[in-house]
Amino acid sequence: MKNFQIVIILFLAVFATACTENKTPRSSGDTGSMNHSTGKTAGADYQKGDVVPHDEVCMVNNAFMGKKQIEVVHNGKKYYGCCEMCEKRIPKEEAVRMAVDPVSKNQVDKAAAVIAITGDKGEVTYFENEANYKAFLKQ
């Protein structure tokens, strides 16, 4: 019975850390392609309050990762995750594909949202449009 408990504990420890291994943002020395919506290159130094590229956000963990994430196409829309677990959850769970705009309180599809860093550790918030993002910044 103790061996079974040890296996369960090890599994939970691995599961809990599965999506945390790639959260180190790129340094400003890294180069990448230009993101036309933000005017910055991939891997550029983004700060709290900045709009960030969709493909550098883990939409399951709602975190800016600072580098390209795994693209998952679902119903013709592009979502992004940081690991295999996220890649599997995106098509299966509507809740990870949707968010609530903090200004309008409307539900927003993460694939179509304006995404901005709003937390000190890279946490992101999804907005249904740029006007709501700007209103949020003024608060």
CB atoms near residue 121 (< 10 Å):
9
| Residue boundaries of the structural domains of the chain | 2-138
What is the structure's pLDDT at 14?
A: 42
Prediction pTM value: 0.72
d(CA 40, CA 54): 13
What length is written for the chain?
A: 139
Q: Which tens digit of pLDDT belongs to each residue from 52-109? A: 999 999 999 999 999 999 999 999 999 999 999 999 999 999 999 999 999 999 999 9
What is the pLDDT confidence band of residue 5, given thresholds at 50, 70 and 90?
Answer: low
What is the structure's pLDDT at 105?
A: 98
**78: exposed, middle or buried (C-beta count within 10 Å: 0-12, 13-18, 19+)?**
middle
Q: Which tens digit of pLDDT belongs to each residue from 9-63? A: 544 444 444 554 444 443 333 334 434 344 444 456 899 999 999 999 999 999 9
